[in-house]
Amino acid sequence: MDATTLKAQILPLLQRNARMPEQEIADRLQTTPETVAKLIQEMEKDKTILGYHTFVNEAKTGQAGRVRAIIDVEVQPERDSGFDRVARAIGMFPEVQTVNLVSGQYDLRVEVVGDTMQDVAFFVASKLSSLEGVRATATHFLLKKFKESGFILQEEEKHERLKVVP
């Protein structure tokens, strides 16, 4: 198998489990651990792999009280750079977890984390809305997560069927 094909097969394995041992990856892809290590190192160097992330169920850590919100942002596009300058500026705030260009009525979708709803509201009012180029925002507070990044967060409840008696 060529290096490009191997890299394409290594990535989903690491995305599902970044701690998967090189030996296990090599066994699955029928290659050597040395080849896997070399290809991972190449992908880290050329920024295909930007980092490794631990996915945490916040409900089990005591961080479940943190407030998350999705903020839709309408932006006045700029000549030559479109939405890029505003998106980069928004991404620089420490409260911001994710910024995406989206289709529809709004242009950017921003995920924000704060300790309280007031923190998120203050961020929107004082930092986000005042940015040059931001025309409008709509804030949606996340109430409960069921699935994120491919992981189901809630264990399925067991329901016992009731017997029907004639």
Q: Which of 69, 72, 63 is nearest to 100 (CA)?
A: 72
Q: Which of 145, 162, 163 is nearest to 154 (CA)?
A: 145
Residue 56 pLDDT: 76
In this structure, of 21-35, 61-75, 129-143, the range with the lowest mean pLDDT score is: 61-75
CATH (residue range 3-45): 1.10.10.10
Asked whether this chain's domains 3-45 and 58-144 adopt the same fold, the reply is no
Name the CA dihedral angle for 106, 111, 115, 116, rounded to a multiple of 10 degrees: 20
Domain boundaries, the chain: 3-45, 58-144
Does 149 score more than 70 pLDDT?
A: yes
Residue 73 pLDDT: 98
Does 155 score more than 70 pLDDT?
A: no
Task: Read off the pLDDT band of 26 (50, 70, 90).
Answer: very high
Residue 99 pLDDT: 98
pLDDT for 115-132, tens place per residue? 999 999 999 999 999 999
Q: Residues 32, 26: contact at Cβ < 8 Å?
A: yes
Question: Could you tell me which residue, 164 or 101, shows the higher pLDDT?
Answer: 101
Question: Could you tell me which residue, 64 or 6, shows the higher pLDDT?
Answer: 6
Mean pLDDT for 70-93 is: 95
Q: Does domain 58-144 have CATH number 3.30.70.920?
A: yes
